[in-house]
Structure 1
Amino acid sequence: MRADRWAPDVLGDGFEARLLPLADDDEGPVVATLVRYVPDATLRPARAVLYVHGWSDYFFQAPLAQYWHGLGAAFYALDLRKYGRSLRPYQTPGYVEDLRTYDEEIAAALRRVRAELGPVARVVLMGHSTGGLVLSLWAARHPGTVSGLVLNSPWLELQGSAIVRHVSAPAIHQLARFQPRAPLPNIDPGYYARTIAETTGGEWPIDDRWRPTPSFPVRAGWLRAVLDGHATVARGLALTVPVLTALSARTLISPRWSEEMRSADIVLDTEAIARRTIHLGPVSTLVRIPGGMHDLTLSARPARERFYAETTRWLAAYGWG
């Protein structure tokens, strides 16, 4: 894969990828990777979507790209630095100390999108989990740049409540000050991976190099950046574009495995996130999806079809204008 041209992607037919070179950091050269879905290279849509994944993740949701293509939109996905296609052996997986660091690759991706589709193409951002937090904060800092925001189970608040965040933040900040790359205890039992991977009863092929079980170690400096992002959301973002936030209808966080975990969010506290949606901006829509998992696009067919239907309805009202 090169920075100056598109090349076939690991997802197969219709998918291409190219590197986005970024500024070096203290671990060495840094890249992000832009993926696009182009089943018909002769089309030049006037609408586009740029998708950003969540923590310890990468873009692999091919049906998501096909959904947007069916709506007449060009689809692009960004593997952020130190994730997925962009991860290099010498790097600390997923590690940044400030979520604003991602401004560089988001800007590079949007430049490429507009270079291909023209400067007046309408772009909607879509983010899952931590990617939803990253894009919400980015959109608040860059008003007037995109046309809308679709958030799939965005991580807008710490599990529990803001009280938990206020209590835990001082200790995390102190540790991050002196040992920013210190790994925190890994509490991932692998249940979420079990719900989605085709090898454990799910539907989806997963590359374990890029989405390992248990997940990448959570490090103090990264968690401090996330908590700072949560605090910014809590103060209010005043986003100037319409926002759709879609969440599972229920949360089920338990130390013991249950088959019910295949029809609930077992990663985030959806009630806490639902309360945060009013802080995003004046035009904010909340949808709850019965039977939805943490990534609604990976849920059982009835739930993911409901998610796509609600997204289409929202786009008709706001996103495409």
Structure 2
Amino acid sequence: MSENRGGERWKPDVLGGHFEQLTLPLKPDVEGEVVATLVRYTALRPLDLRALPADGADVLYVHGWSDYFFQTHLAEYWRSMGARFHALDLRKYGRSLRDYQTPGFVDDLSIYDEDIEAALTAMGHGAPKPGPTVNAGKRRPLILMGHSTGGLTLSLWAGRHPGRAQGLVLNSPWLEFQARGIGREVIAPAVVLGAKVAPLAQLPNVDLGFYTRTVSKEFDGEWEYNMAWRPERGFPTHPAWLKAVLFGHGTVAAGIDVGAPVLSLMSARSTISLVWSPAMMTSDIVLVVDDIAVRSLKLAPGVTVERLDGAIHDVMLSAKPVREAAYAAITRWLRGYFAH
């Protein structure tokens, strides 16, 4: 196991097998010590003499709200494409969450720049230093992949750091508030006031547990994961966090340029309801996907939008035929932009 920054070492991950994790020390905040956690998949490249669609690339995946990385099949897919796969559990999530911390809380999404930069440095993609760059052409291409809030976070990061990534793959990115731009503008003043007066006040929980029902093997889904790191009704939310998210939505709505081609994957339809319906097993019950499709076009001049029939909010946790369709879409996109 190799040593990294701060004397930390790669060690076996909770996923076992070919997965290892590296603790990334970050600057302390008001709650105390803060870390992020980088996970890597160490399986060898497939024994294939042909050039694979993502040969020579590095992938960094970032999870969504109330989530962490556990999708082993995602790592296996990217390795089958020839890429080296890494996933990042952001501060106060998953492997990085400590008992004394408020789960998932930040009051500005740009705070995650430190987490992302630490991960990229460990991967060999640290920020370029001022002055002439030596052997710049030898750096491996970087592909970022983000789900939901992670997709918003990575989009904003890429917009602030154009040229660092050569591709952006988004899985149901949370690029707009569920009540659309008008709803965002209506609630923004109250949220801003709440963030100033009581930033850590607990907001009403609107998660009825339906999404967990579609995903978890304990209910109607097929996936096993740590319910402490991905709770049934999500983490509590707070005004300062919601303000940060709404600001991110506004930034995207105004238009940014991530400086790279974008692939945005999402369901063909949404089912937003306070009552359980079987349709929730084959649609996005978290976001309004029509709005997400439109907002995706604000990220770059070159954006590919793939609407997948039967997909749930995390496209990669959908039923197997949908997952296979999603992987086929990514492969087509890779061949179009990255094939040698």
Instruction: Determine if the TM-score, normalized by the shorter chain, exceeds 0.5.
Output: yes
Partner of 2:177: 158
Find 1:139's aligned residue among 158, 161, 177.
158
Q: How far is 1:41 from its partner?
A: 9.1
Supply the AA of the counterpart residue of 2:25.
Answer: P
SS of the residue corresponding to residue 56 of structure 1 reads: coil
1:106 to 116, 133, 138: 116
How far apart, in 2, do the equivalents of 1:191 and 1:320 lie?
Answer: 40
Partner of 2:34: 30
Of 244, 250, 259 in structure 2, the residue corresponding to residue 240 of structure 1 is 259
The answer for the alignment partner of 2:144 in structure 1 is 125
CA change 1:194–1:27 in 2 (3 A) is same
For residues 290 and 42 of structure 1, the distance between their equivalents in structure 2, rounded to whole angstroms, comes to 30
Per-residue Cα deviation, 1:144-194 (whole angstroms, up to 9, x for no partner): 111100000000000031001000111000100111111100011000001
Give per-residue Cα distances to partners, 1:204-260, cap 9 Å, x unaligned: 002011001111001100000000000000010022200000110000011111222
Q: Equivalent residue for 1:40?
A: 44
Q: State the partner residue of 2:282.
A: 263
Residues 53-81 of structure 1, C-alpha deviation per residue, up to 9 Å, x if partnerless? 00000000000000001001000000000
Cα 1:320/1:233, change in 2 over 3 Å: farther
The answer as to whether partners of 2:59 and 2:84 remain within 8 angstroms in 1 is yes
Out of 62, 68, 78, the position equivalent to 1:68 is 78
Deviation at 1:46, TM superposition (A): 2.3
Gaps of 5+ in 1: none
Unaligned runs of 5+ in 2: 48-54, 127-135
Of 164-173 and 272-281, the range deviating more from structure 2? 272-281
Q: 1:49 aligns with which of 46, 55, 59?
A: 59
Q: Letter of the aligned partner of 1:250 in structure 2?
A: R
Alpha-carbon offset, residue 114 of structure 1: 1.2
SS of equivalent to 2:38? strand
Work out whether 1:19 is the aligned partner of 2:29.
Answer: no
Check whether the contact 1:291–1:299 (CA below 8 A) recurs between aligned residues: yes
- Kindly indicate whether residue 250 of structure 2 is the aligned counterpart of residue 231 of structure 1: yes
Distance verdict in 2 for CA 1:284–1:41, change over 3 Å: closer
Matched, 1:79 2:89: yes
The aligned residue for residue 299 of structure 2 is: 280
Q: Report if the CA contact (8 A) 1:125-1:150 is conserved.
A: yes
Check the 8 A contact 2:65/2:104 in 1, yes or no: yes
Corresponding residue of 1:196? 215
Aligned mates of 1:241, 1:42 — CA distance in 2: 27
Structure 1 residue 277, shift from structure 2 partner: 1.4
Deviation at 1:196, TM superposition (A): 0.6
Q: Which amino acid aligns with 2:33?
A: P
TM-score normalised by L of structure 1? 0.96
